[in-house]
C-alpha cells in the first residue's frame, strides 16, 4: 500500500478516531472485587509473567515433547479430573449431549487409533468439512493425538473453496457428511490423489468412502498418543490474501502455550467456568478458543450447532448458565438490533466475563453491553497468523470503549512505519502506523504452506508486520484503524477478492471481474462485484441474477457477492492489475489516492 493510500485510509477514519476519543472519556472502571477475582489482577502482575512462566502451566511430555491434545484432554484425566464435563453440545433439533473429559479421551483415542489403522500417522493432513457437531471436535483432537495436522474448513464453503484448500493442503483424509461429499468433493476427488480416505459421519455404502460410526465401532479403543515435538506442525488454517490463492498458515504444537495462557489471562477462565465461544472452528477463533483454550484450562465448553438467533442465544446463556462468553462484533450488532428488551427477559446474572474479536468493536457496542448486561464486552485483537490473542482488554483493566486494550504480557507490540526495508517506531501517541509484533511467541505461524517468499515478506526490521493500521494512546491502549490491504471482512470471514473473481470469471458471459467490500450494518462488510462482459453479450437483469446465483452456488452464501454491477470497463494499472482500491474509493466517496499508475478510466 502506498503512503498516499495509507494517509487516505487514516484521514478517512479520522472521524472514527474522534468518536473513540469521545468514548475514551467514558472509561469503564473495574471494581476492586473484579480486580481481585481476575487471573491477571493488576498491571504490576504483568512484570512477572511471560512465555517461560506460561510454558510451566502445562504438563508437557517426556523428552521435551508437547502435544495439544494431551494438554487439552489426557492430562486432566491423569490428574483425576476425568469426571468433569468437558463438552456440552446443543443440537439444532433441541437434542443435547454431554461429554466428560474421560469420555472425550475415549472418543479421541479411538479416532486416533482409526487414523493410525488406516495408515495416517505423523504429519497426515486431516481435513474436516463439518458443521459444529461432536464428530468435528473428536476429529480435531484425535488427529492431533495421532500426530496429524488438523485443517478445519468452514461448512458453508461451496465446492471451489473446499477444493482449493484441500489441494493446497494436500489433504490425506477428509471427514464430512454424505451431502457435502456428494456436492462439494466427489466431482473432483479423482484430481486429488493425496486424498486416500473420506470418512462420512452420516452415511453408509457411499462409493469410495468409509462409514465413520460403523468403522469406529470395530476399532480398538486404546491408543498411545504420539509424542510430538513442540515445533511439529499441528494446525493448518487458511486465510485469504489480496492476490493469489488462499494461504495456509502453519501452526505447531507449541502454540498451545499461547492458547492456554490467553484462555487464562485474557478470557479469565477459572476452573468452574461454563464457557461459550460462538465461533465456528472453520475460522481460527473457533479452533484456538472454541476447542483448545477452554479444554486446556479444564472448563466446560458449550457448543451450539445452530446459526445465530438472538432469542436462542439468550436462552442458551441463561439455561446453560454460561459464565464466560466469547463472540464477535457481527453477532453483537445483531443483538443490539434485536433490542435490549429481549435481553431483559432473560436471567443473565451468571455471565461474568464477555469478550469480542474479529472486527473493530465500536465504542457504542461496548457501552450498550454495559447498559444491558451490566458489564462490558472486552474487545481483543489477533489474527490467523498470530495463532492466539495478542492485544486485549483484560478482566482487571479499565475498558476504554473502542480500544482493543493492551498487549498480553510477553507480547511486544509497536506502531511502526515501513519504508522499503526500513521500519521505524512511531512513538507519538494516537498516530497511525502499522501494528507490528516482535517475532518469537509460541503461537506465531511458522509459514504459509509452500509460500516461503510470502511468509518472509511479513517480517521486516526484526518485526512481524500485521497488515493492520492502528494507534497507541499515552496509556498504552491500542486503537484499530483499518486493514492495510483490500481483503474483505464479512461476518468474521476474511474474503480474498481473487477467489470470488475467479468463480465469476468461470461464467460464460464474464470477461473480467473485480470485487470489493462495502460497509454493511450487520456483516461489517459485504462483497460487491463489478464485472465486464464478453464481446457480444448484452447486459440484462436476467444475466445479473444468473451471475448472483452462479456465485452463490459455487462459493456458498457467506462468500458470494451480495451485489453485482455490470460495467463496460474496469479501472486497471499499466501493468494490467485491476484497481480495486479505486473502485472502492469511488463506491464509498473516499479520496481516490494515487492514480499515477491508472491506465484505463472506467
Ligand atoms: P483473521 O485472520 O480472520 O482472524 O482476521 C484477522 C484480522 O481481523 C485482523 O488482522 C484485523 O484486521 C481483524 N481483527 C481481528 N480482531 C480485531 C479487533 N479486535 N479489532 C479490529 N480488527 C480486528
pLDDT 10s digits, 470-522: 899 999 999 987 667 667 888 877 676 767 887 898 898 988 888 999 999 88
CA 239/CA 467 separation, integer angstroms: 13
80: alpha, beta or left? (left if phi > 0; alpha if psi -120 to 50) = left
Nearest protein Cα to ligand 1, atom 15: 358
Which is the closest atom of ligand 1 to the Cα of 466? 10
pLDDT given at position 599? 59
- Which of 191-195, 217-221, 472-476, 501-505 is the least confident region? 501-505
Nearest protein Cα to ligand 1, atom 12: 483
Choose between 297 and 367: higher pLDDT: 297
Nearest protein Cα to ligand 1, atom 21: 360
491 lines ligand 1 (CB under 6 A): no
When pLDDT is cut at 50, 70 and 90, the band that residue 350 belongs to is very high
Which is the closest atom of ligand 1 to the Cα of 283? 3
Between the CA of 358 and the centroid of ligand 1 the distance, in Å, is 4
593 lines ligand 1 (CB under 6 A): no
379 lines ligand 1 (CB under 6 A): yes
CA 392/CA 478 separation, integer angstroms: 9
Between the CA of 538 and the centroid of ligand 1 the distance, in Å, is 40
pLDDT given at position 156? 83
Between the CA of 154 and the centroid of ligand 1 the distance, in Å, is 17
Between the CA of 483 and the centroid of ligand 1 the distance, in Å, is 8
Per the CB < 8 A criterion, the answer to whether 405 and 397 are in contact is yes
> How high is the mean pLDDT of the chain?
90
β-pair type (125-129, 149-153)? parallel
Nearest protein Cα to ligand 1, atom 1: 383
- Which of 3-7, 201-205, 325-329, 457-461 is the least confident region? 3-7
What is the distance in angstroms between the CA of the first residue and the CA of the last residue of the chain? Answer: 22
When pLDDT is cut at 50, 70 and 90, the band that residue 535 belongs to is confident
pLDDT 10s digits, 45-91: 889 999 999 999 999 999 999 999 999 999 999 999 999 999 999 99
CA 470/CA 407 separation, integer angstroms: 13
- Which of 220-229, 381-390, 476-485, 579-588 is the least confident region? 476-485
pLDDT for 575 beyond 70:
no
pLDDT given at position 395? 97
525 lines ligand 1 (CB under 6 A): no
Choice from 383, 464, 482 to test ligand 1 binding pocket (greatest atom count within 8 A of CB): 383
CA 583/CA 300 separation, integer angstroms: 47
Nearest protein Cα to ligand 1, atom 10: 383
pLDDT 10s digits, 454-470: 999 999 999 999 998 88
pLDDT given at position 19? 42
pLDDT for 428 beyond 50:
yes
434 lines ligand 1 (CB under 6 A): no
pLDDT given at position 271? 95
Nearest protein Cα to ligand 1, atom 6: 383
Choice from 152, 332, 382 to test ligand 1 binding pocket (greatest atom count within 8 A of CB): 382
pLDDT for 577 beyond 90:
no
404 lines ligand 1 (CB under 6 A): yes
Per the CB < 8 A criterion, the answer to whether 156 and 122 are in contact is no
pLDDT given at position 444? 98
Burial class (CB in 10 A: 0-12, 13-18, 19+), 124: buried
Please, what's the b/e burial string for 303-329 (b: 16 or more CB within 10 A of its CB; e: otherwise)?
bbeeebebeebbebbbebebbbbbbbb
Nearest protein Cα to ligand 1, atom 16: 358
β-pair type (377-381, 353-356)? parallel
Choose between 281 and 243: higher pLDDT: 281
| Stretch 524-539: mean pLDDT | 92
Between the CA of 122 and the centroid of ligand 1 the distance, in Å, is 32
When pLDDT is cut at 50, 70 and 90, the band that residue 601 belongs to is very low
pLDDT for 7 beyond 50:
no
381 lines ligand 1 (CB under 6 A): yes
494 lines ligand 1 (CB under 6 A): yes
β-pair type (125-129, 173-176)? parallel
Please, what's the b/e burial string for 379-402 (b: 16 or more CB within 10 A of its CB; e: otherwise)?
bbbbbbbbbbbbbbbbbbbebbbb
| Stretch 206-230: mean pLDDT | 98
Choose between 277 and 420: higher pLDDT: 277
CA 210/CA 189 separation, integer angstroms: 15
Between the CA of 521 and the centroid of ligand 1 the distance, in Å, is 17
How many residues comprise the chain?
Answer: 602
Domains belonging to the chain, first-starting first, are: 3-52+254-485 (3.40.50.12780), 76-87+94-252 (3.40.50.12780), 487-588 (3.30.300.30)
When pLDDT is cut at 50, 70 and 90, the band that residue 365 belongs to is confident
468 lines ligand 1 (CB under 6 A): yes
180 lines ligand 1 (CB under 6 A): no
- Which of 348-352, 407-411, 484-488 is the least confident region? 484-488
pTM of the model: 0.85
When pLDDT is cut at 50, 70 and 90, the band that residue 253 belongs to is very high
108 lines ligand 1 (CB under 6 A): no
Q: Three-state SS string across 64-99, please? A: HECCHHHHHHHHHHHCCCCCCEEEEEECCCCCEEEE
Nearest protein Cα to ligand 1, atom 23: 359
Nearest protein Cα to ligand 1, atom 4: 383
Between the CA of 457 and the centroid of ligand 1 the distance, in Å, is 19
Choose between 134 and 556: higher pLDDT: 134
360 lines ligand 1 (CB under 6 A): yes
Distance of CA 138 to the CA centre of its chain: 20
402 lines ligand 1 (CB under 6 A): no
403 lines ligand 1 (CB under 6 A): no
273 lines ligand 1 (CB under 6 A): no
pLDDT given at position 1? 37
pLDDT given at position 224? 98
pLDDT for 319 beyond 70:
yes
Choose between 582 and 91: higher pLDDT: 91
Amino acid at each position: 500500500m502506498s503512503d498516499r493510500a495509507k494517509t487516505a485510509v487514516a484521514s478517512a477514519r479520522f472521524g472514527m478516531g474522534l468518536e473513540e476519543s469521545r468514548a475514551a472519556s467514558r472509561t469503564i472502571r473495574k471494581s476492586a472485587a473484579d480486580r481481585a477475582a481476575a487471573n491477571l489482577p493488576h498491571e504490576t502482575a504483568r512484570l512477572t509473567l511471560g512465555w517461560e512462566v506460561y510454558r510451566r502451566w502445562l504438563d508437557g511430555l517426556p523428552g521435551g515433547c508437547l502435544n495439544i491434545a494431551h494438554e487439552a484432554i489426557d492430562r486432566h484425566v491423569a490428574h483425576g479430573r476425568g469426571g468433569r464435563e468437558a463438552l456440552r453440545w446443543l443440537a439444532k433439533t433441541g437434542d443435547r449431549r454431554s461429554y466428560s473429559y474421560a469420555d472425550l479421551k475415549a472418543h479421541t483415542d479411538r479416532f486416533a487409533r482409526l487414523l493410525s489403522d488406516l495408515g495416517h500417522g505423523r504429519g497426515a493432513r486431516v481435513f474436516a468439512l463439518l458443521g459444529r457437531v461432536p464428530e468435528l471436535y473428536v476429529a480435531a483432537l484425535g488427529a492431533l493425538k495421532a500426530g496429524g495436522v488438523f485443517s478445519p474448513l468452514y461448512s458453508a464453503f461451496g465446492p471451489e473453496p473446499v477444493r482449493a484448500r484441500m489441494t493446497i493442503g494436500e489433504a490425506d483424509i477428509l471427514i464430512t457428511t454424505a451431502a457435502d461429499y456428494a456436492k462439494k468433493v466427489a466431482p473432483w476427488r479423482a484430481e486429488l490423489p493425496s486424498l486416500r480416505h473420506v470418512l462420512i459421519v452420516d452415511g453408509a455404502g457411499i462409493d469410495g468412502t468409509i462409514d465413520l460410526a460403523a468403522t469406529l465401532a470395530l476399532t480398538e479403543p486404546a491408543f498411545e498418543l504420539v509424542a510430538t515435538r513442540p515445533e511439529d506442525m499441528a494446525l493448518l488454517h487458511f486465510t485469504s490474501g489480496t492476490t493469489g490463492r488462499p494461504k495456509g498458515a502453519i501452526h505447531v504444537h507449541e502454540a498451545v502455550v499461547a492458547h492456554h495462557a490467553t484462555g487464562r489471562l485474557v478470557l479469565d477462565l477459572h476452573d468452574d467456568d461454563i464457557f461459550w465461544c460462538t465461533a465456528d472452528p472453520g475460522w481460527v477463533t473457533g479452533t484456538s478458543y472454541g476447542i483448545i483454550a477452554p479444554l486446556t484450562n479444564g472448563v466446560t465448553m458449550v457448543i451450539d450447532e445452530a446459526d445465530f438467533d438472538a432469542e436462542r442465544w439468550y436462552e442458551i446463556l441463561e439455561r446453560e448458565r454460561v459464565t464466560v462468553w466469547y463472540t464477535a462484533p457481527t453477532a453483537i450488532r445483531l443483538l443490539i438490533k434485536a433490542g435490549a428488551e429481549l435481553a431483559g427477559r432473560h436471567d443473565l446474572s451468571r455471565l461474568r466475563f464477555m469478550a469480542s474479536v474479529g472486527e473493530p468493536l465500536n465504542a457504542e457496542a461496548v457501552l450498550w453491553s454495559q447498559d444491558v448486561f451490566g458489564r462490558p464486552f472486552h474487545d481483543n485483537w489477533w489474527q490467523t497468523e498470530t495463532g492466539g490473542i495478542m492485544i486485549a482488554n483484560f478482566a482487571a483493566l479499565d475498558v476504554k470503549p473502542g480500544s482493543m486494550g493492551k498487549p498480553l504480557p510477553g507480547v511486544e507490540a509497536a506502531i511502526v512505519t515501513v519504508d522499503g526495508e526500513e521500519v521505524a517506531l512511531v512513538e507519538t501517541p494516537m498516530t497511525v502506523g502499522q501494528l507490528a509484533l516482535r517475532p518469537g511467541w509460541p503461537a506465531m505461524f511458522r509459514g504459509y504452506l509452500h509460500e516461503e517468499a510470502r511468509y518472509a515478506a511479513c517480517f521486516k526490521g526484526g518485526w512481524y508486520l500485521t497488515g493492520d493500521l492502528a494507534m497507541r494512546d499515552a496509556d498504552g491502549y491500542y486503537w484499530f484503524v483499518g486493514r492495510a490491504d483490500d481483503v474483505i471482512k464479512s461476518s468474521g470471514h476474511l474474503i480474498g477478492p481473487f477467489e470470488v473473481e475467479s468463480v465469476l470469471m468461470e461464467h460464460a458471459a464474464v470477461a473480467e471481474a473485480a470485487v470489493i467490500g462495502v460497509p454493511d450494518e450487520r456483516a461489517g462488510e459485504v462483497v460487491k462485484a463489478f464485472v465486464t462482459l464478453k464481446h457480444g453479450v448484452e447486459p440484462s437483469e436476467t444475466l445479473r441474477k444468473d451471475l448472483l446465483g452462479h456465485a452463490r452456488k459455487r462459493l456458498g452464501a457467506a462468500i458470494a457477492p451480495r451485489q453485482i454491477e455490470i460495467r463496460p470497463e474496469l479501472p486497471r494499472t499499466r501493468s494490467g492489475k485491476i484497481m480495486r482500491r479505486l473502485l472502492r474509493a469511488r463506491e464509498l466517496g473516499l479520496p481516490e489516492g494515487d492514480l499515477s499508475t491508472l491506465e484505463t478510466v472506467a
